[in-house]
Amino acid sequence: MNDLIIVGAGIAGMTASVYASRYKINHLVIGEIPGGQGTLAGRVENYPGYLSIPGPELMQKLIEQVKQSGVKIKQDKVGGLAKIKGGFEVKTTKEKFQTKTLILAMGAVYRHLNIPGEEKFLGKGVSYCTTCDIPLFRDKVVAIAGGGDSAVTGALHAASFAQKVYIIHRRDEFRAEPGWVEKVRKVKKIEEVLSNQVEEIKGKEKVEEIILANSYQGNQSLKVDGVFIEIGQVPSFTLAAGLKVELDGGNYVKVKPTMETNIAGVFAAGDLAAIQGGILFRQFITAASDGARAAASVYQYLHKGAIPAPAWGQQS
């Protein structure tokens, strides 16, 4: 039986692994996407120690760090979690594993606008990954829906390909870091459409126009070739719910500051987890911090309350 299985291979799960290796906790990481959502990020400029680094590169470094300790990252989908005697069972599409403890770090998936045309035009102009698809919209006109960091950084990235970028946000100011907003305002190609929303996506074979909730410069619609939806995420809670782990109103796994859930031996970290009483902060660094704390708590759990004293640096 493993001491620990980490479900999810994004920054939270991988950081938990780095710490678990330091604590000599024998463990396994199982995830569908090595690197997780971090691999979809554009440039990351708020991770300590890096002035500016592409998300995929940062995640690649973390994957290398995990593998360096001899930890196996299984690229597979976990289909079910169950309580068994002395621990838990993790079922993937191919195998079954037993473990004394679990760290749930499955992250989150894209939130949809849920408007007419969104599903119909998926892959025909509608995209949830600006980084992936914007190079296919060279010299086209695109709209980005959203006002957080991913929308604003997405708009900046889009401006280097598209001829025009509208950024449409329902509030009158962006939620993104002011530093990014300042950069957006310097790019002439980017036009801000604030206090407005996309209500419908229309076209024949592919996206041709979007209908707005409020008129913008006298028009109720905008001609666009692409719509990039960057309006945040919803936690991947299904597996957790199957294990009867307690969720909050937003379907986030409820955790204490120690990252413990309501079930002994089950911990959660990253975008899936919400520290009760804390700010819901979705950042590389907060996910990493969650992962580190969860690993320390696993150590404490396995060693009946002893606080981990890792041997930092080279080990013989």
Partner 1 sequence: MALDLTDQNFEKEVLQADLPVLVDFWAPWCQPCLMASPAIEELAEEYDGKIKAGKLNVDESPRIAQNFGIMSIPTVIIFKGGKEVKKQIGFPGKEGYKKLIEEVI
Catalytic residue annotation = 129, 132-133
**In the numeric block, which tokens belong to residue 191?**
């036009």
> At its nearest, how many Å lie between partner 1 and the CB of residue 125?
6
Contacts of 204 (CB under 8 A, 6+ apart): none
* Of 24, 33, 177, 211, the one binding partner 1 by CB under 8 A: 33
* Of 19, 23, 137, 299, the one binding partner 1 by CB under 8 A: 137
Q: Which stretch binds partner 1 (CB under 8 A): 30-38, 215-223, 258-266, 306-314?
A: 30-38
Number of residues that bind partner 1 (CB under 8 A): 26
* Binding of partner 1 by 306 (CB under 8 A): no
CA distance 281 to 148: 12
How crowded is the C-beta side of 130, counted as CA atoms within 13 Å? 31
**In the numeric block, which tokens belong to residue 271?**
């975008």
* Binding of partner 1 by 125 (CB under 8 A): yes
The gap from C-alpha 24 to its chain's centroid, in whole angstroms, comes to: 27
Sheet order of strands, 207-216 included:
198-203, 207-216, 219-223
| Contact positions with partner 1 (CB under 8 A) in 62-81 | 75, 77
Compute the Cα dihedral for 290, 291, 294, 296 and give only its sign. Answer: negative
Under 8 Å between Cβ of 210 and 198:
yes
* Of 2, 17, 21, 39, the one binding partner 1 by CB under 8 A: 39
* Binding of partner 1 by 132 (CB under 8 A): yes
Q: Which stretch binds partner 1 (CB under 8 A): 26-34, 98-106, 193-201, 284-292?
A: 26-34
Q: Return residues touching partner 1 (CB under 8 A).
A: 32-35, 39-40, 56, 75, 77, 93, 122-127, 129, 131-133, 135-137, 205-206, 226
